[in-house]
Structure 1
Amino acid sequence: MRRKIAVVALAAASLALSLLAGGPAAPAQAADKPLIGLTFDDGPSPERTAFVLDVLKEKGVKATFFLQGSHAQQYPDLVRRIKAEGHVIGNHSWDHANFPDLTQAGQKQEIDATNTAIGAITGTAPTLVRFPFGNSTPYALNYLRSIGMSGGIQWHWEVGEPGDFECPGAAGVQKYVLDEAAPGAIILLHDGNDVLACPATQWTYLAKTIDALRAMGYDFGVVAPSTTASALNEGSYGVVVAP
């Protein structure tokens, strides 16, 4: 996977969010602990999603999974498990296409087919969208507004160290996450596609990183829509909230 680059025209998305709950979500704070949001893209995959869910369950952590529609359709039991265990499910397109390369009809199809597949499996269509590579288009954002969805959920990538999909090893992934940690930060991780080619030993990062973040004073939240753009998370109209 190419390093994800946020090329997002998010101004139009603020109108979309006003169609949702009617106001900003709660701040990234649970009791006296700041929240951080772990997000997993490109799944579900039989190679890694069950492992991620096992670790999250063991550690008592809720996360946000941005699912690829074609994978959701192929592995419905994993999708059902993600929902049953209390995680948030978002739309990550049908087949990880780069939206600026698609026709308007193609962009609409990527969104609609994924919503249909996830809705058929879980009974609920997603309200959040994360564009592949972080690349939206004005058309796609306007379309999301028209159907009451929020798009352009980005992430915190200030330090810019290699992400998990670049196979830096367990210590490298942990360092990336801890260096990007901040109250309200949305952290980009993966459980499908390119990350599957990384050595299996890399996956030991997850439990250790959760423990390290807790030692730093963080608790864990999920992503919810917001009417306010997040400067921390590259202009995302999303916020980390308590599960």
Structure 2
Amino acid sequence: MHNRYIKYFVFLLFTADLVLSAIFLKNDHRDIEKIFSLPALSKVAGQPGYIALTFDDGPDRKCTPLLLDGLKERGVHATFFLMGSNIEGKEDIVKRMSEEGHLIGNHSYEHIQLTKAGPEAVCEAVEHTQEQIEAITGKRPEYIRPPYGDWNEELEEEIGMSPVLWSVDSLDWKLKDKGKIVRRVLKDVKDGDIILMHDIFPSSVEAALELVDILQKEGYVFVTADELLIE
């Protein structure tokens, strides 16, 4: 009886071997490699996810380079919505943003409330900034952050750009304290959030880099705003 079970087990192994051999012979070895080299999932269920850091009103001669240094050190790309009146004399900073892989968007020329300005003023405020950025980077921005988040369908048709608002407001312009800014953002942040900050205050730069350090340790991945919008 015992020998009969052994013979039966050997028969099963032999049959399985024949089946596997047939599969391997039928398929190219490259197909077999694909089975064992499937890419890892970009996001595992339960992990925190993706966040976009966005900065308005720059560039600033002192603060923006410090921010760029910190982001580069951490391997993070951010999104900068530039104000045309602040670009003049800081073209080197704008060029660096582009060369280092950050997304550059339009924030009007002088931070006007677009919905309350006439069509001519809106066109001038946006187009002037578009031309400045394109002249420096060779790329014409596709995205706009309307000052005060004030936007409507008429503007979208008139300007022909995609608006990018935000889901977490750091209130860095008001708080001007690294610890308070960090705590406010951490209280609300979640997967898919777009964080609003400004790269014109030293406390904002310090808070932004601390947020990157904390959230990267938690598993978050920082992307540019367009990557979130595409998702």
State whether TM-score is above 0.5. yes
Q: What per-residue deviation string (whole Å, max 9, x for no partner) do you get for residues 94-117 of structure 1?
A: 111111231111011111111111
Matches within 5 A, 1:1-243: 30-32=42-44, 34-145=49-160, 149-151=161-163, 153-157=164-168, 163-192=171-200, 196=201, 200=202, 203-224=205-226, 239=229
Deviation at 1:201, TM superposition (A): 5.2
Question: In structure 1, what residue type is equivalent to 2:217?
Answer: A
SS in 2 for 1:70: helix
Off by >4 Å, runs of 4+ in structure 1: none
Q: Distance in 1 between matches of 2:188 and 2:78?
A: 17
Secondary structure at 1:43 match in 2: coil
Structure 2: state its 5+ residue gaps.
1-40
Q: Is the 8 A contact 2:176 2:203 kept in 1?
A: no
Q: Distance in 2 between matches of 1:59 and 1:96?
A: 30
Deviations 1:111-130 (A, max 9, x none): 11111110011111100001
Summarize deviations over 1:174-199 as a string: whole Å, max 9, x none: 1122123111100001013xxx3xxx
SS state at 2:191 partner:
coil
1:201–1:135 Cα change, 3 Å = closer
- Whether contact under 8 Å (1:73, 1:118) holds in the other structure is no
Aligned-pair Cα RMSD in Å: 2.1
Q: Give the TM-score normalised by the residue count of structure 2.
A: 0.75
Q: Going by fraction, where is helix more abundant, 1 or 2? A: 2
Unaligned runs of 5+ in 1: 1-28, 226-237
Q: Deviations over 1:39-69 (max 9, x none)?
A: 0110001021001101101111100000111
Structure that is richer in strand per residue: 1
Mean CA deviation greater in 204-213 or 84-93 = 204-213
Higher RCO, 1 or 2 (CA under 8 Å, sep at least 6)?
Answer: 1
CA distance change for structure 1 residues 51 and 240 in 2, over 3 Å: closer, same or farther?
farther
In structure 2, what residue type is equivalent to 1:216? E
Alpha-carbon distance in structure 2 between the residues aligned to 1:93 and 1:218: 31
1:140 shift after superposition: 1.7
Question: What is the Cα deviation at residue 144 of structure 1?
Answer: 2.7
2:28 equivalent in structure 1: none
**Count of residue pairs the alignment pairs up:** 188
- Letter aligned with residue 150 of structure 1: S
Note if contact 1:30-1:219 (Cα within 8 Å) is conserved in structure 2: no
99 and 47 in structure 1: CA distance in 2 versus 1, 3 angstrom threshold: same
User: Structure 2: how far apart are the matches of 1:116 and 1:202?
Assistant: 28
Paired residues of 1:99 and 1:137 also in contact (CA < 8 A): no
| Distance in 2 (alpha carbons) for counterparts of 1:219 and 1:137 | 31
Alpha carbons of structure 1 residues 155 and 44: separation in structure 2 relative to 1, 3 Å? same
Partner secondary structure for residue 90 of structure 1: strand
Read off the aligned partner of 1:45 and give its amino acid letter.
D
> % of aligned pairs identical?
33
